[in-house]
Amino acid sequence: MQKFTFVTPGRVSMEWGGATNGHLADEAKRLGSRPLVVAGSSLAKSGILDAILASLHKAGLSPTVHTGVPPEPDLDALQAAMNAAEGADSVIAIGGGSVLDVAKGAAALGGTGHDARAYHSGKVNVPETVSRPILAVPTTAGTGSEATWVGVYTDKEAKRKASIRGGAMMPVTAFLDAELTVSCPPAVTAYSGMDAFVQAVEAYTSIGANPLTDSLSGKATKLISDSVVNAFGAPQSRQPREDMLLGSYLAGVALNTSRLGLVHGLAHPIGAITGAPHGLLCGLLMPAVTRFNAMSDLGNDPIRFMTGMKYDQIASGIIMFAENYMTGLGAETVAKYSERILRMLEIPSRLSEIGLREEHLDAVAKEAMSSGSTKANPRPVTEADARAVLESCL
Ligand SMILES: [Fe+2]
């Protein structure tokens, strides 16, 4: 018996070069005439932002611009964008996950009479109805933020990283132009690529998965595992860039309904302490969490049995291990594959390398227990389990 509600952007448009050839402006025109453009600073420096703004003016729009969103954004960054959005009738978000998250929050929460902290602490709920439609244009592949109603922000004072979510934060349109991802620095391609891979796997194996999300996250694991190394090693090559952007979008659509797992439950509190990039942390934690989820004894529990089968299905699609693949060893294959691509993508494998210390582990494990991602993990997690996983990665 199935019971779920599936929410997704109403429209998705994919086109190589579409951001600068006028087609993005055509999409923007459908949503409003006074958009706030929230853009990443690298986009401004490269001149691409100027080209996009010129096409918006040519289409008869009157955009204002907000830049300067920091990586792993805090509540001050969200508040500044909320203030900038007050006079706008729509928001165009062009950037990596941090920019998209801030822009989505700005669109939904700006001018509501409550500040960013009130939403982050959970005192006030995000409006369900869209007041400023959002056009989301990712420049990394990615967080999948263009496909979700979630934003993640850090409360620096409380050293707490948590999400804000709600209907008004869902983009009305996602615009996928993989040409924008070509200029990503190698480290950003690596970190965001691992985030996309982990999100696809966690969405697929989550206890919140359903047949709709499975069809998307299953396809995403295949697209991403086929292309993540090539997108890093041959950055100008078009096919891996397109496959990565599509894969991260599909994973984003899936996770918005299915939610994620223990990797994300742990990555947020570690990120709040260390400031390490989210995708780096996701990659680093993936092998240990996958082994924690591995179930050698499938038993009679239907969820455990299904989880084992799902890891088998992911493993069977991973080309570089296909010849060694054996049924029932799917989780170990996924863990080994993750370790191998972490090395290829030059991502650290120990938490001590990014500044986490033994004395932090109790607090991280405790904070991870309140995360919706941890609660969606296929194997139930105790605080002691979470600490043991962390210790194995130290
Ligand atoms: Fe993520």
Q: Tens digits of per-residue pLDDT, 54-111?
A: 999 999 999 999 999 999 899 999 999 999 999 999 999 999 999 999 999 999 999 9
CA 162 – ligand 1 centroid, Å: 12
Contacts 24+ apart (CB under 8 A), 157-162: 159/272, 159/273, 160/269, 160/272, 160/367, 161/72, 161/268, 161/269, 161/271, 161/272, 162/120, 162/268
pLDDT over 90 percentage in the chain: 86
CA 202 – ligand 1 centroid, Å: 10
CA 7 – ligand 1 centroid, Å: 18
CA 17 – ligand 1 centroid, Å: 26
For residue 324, the model assigns a pLDDT of 57
Least confident segment among 27-41, 150-164, 320-334, 359-373: 320-334
CA 115 – ligand 1 centroid, Å: 25
Strands 35-39, 64-66: pairing is parallel
Q: Is the pLDDT of residue 302 over 90?
A: no
Q: Is the pLDDT of residue 300 over 70?
A: no
CA 61 – ligand 1 centroid, Å: 33
CA 392 – ligand 1 centroid, Å: 21
The secondary structure element, H or E, covering residue 316 is helix 302-316
CA 204 – ligand 1 centroid, Å: 14
Query: What does the alpha-carbon distance between residue 346 and residue 189 come to, in Å, rounded to a whole number?
Result: 11
CA 286 – ligand 1 centroid, Å: 11
Task: Say whether domain 186-393 belongs to CATH 3.90.110.10.
Answer: no
pLDDT classification of 305: cutoffs 50, 70, 90: confident
Q: In which residue are the tokens 């969200």 written?
A: 78
Map out the domains of the chain as residue ranges: 11-181, 186-393
Residue range 11-181 forms a domain whose CATH class is alpha beta
Q: Is the pLDDT of residue 322 over 90?
A: no
CA 237 – ligand 1 centroid, Å: 24
CA 336 – ligand 1 centroid, Å: 20
For residue 327, the model assigns a pLDDT of 60
Query: Which residues contact residue 367 at a Cβ distance below 8 angstroms, ignoring those fewer than 6 apart?
Result: 160, 268, 269, 272
- 357-387: per-residue pLDDT in tens? 999 999 999 999 999 999 999 999 999 999 9
CA 282 – ligand 1 centroid, Å: 7
Residue 167 CB burial class (10 angstroms; 0-12, 13-18, ≥19): middle
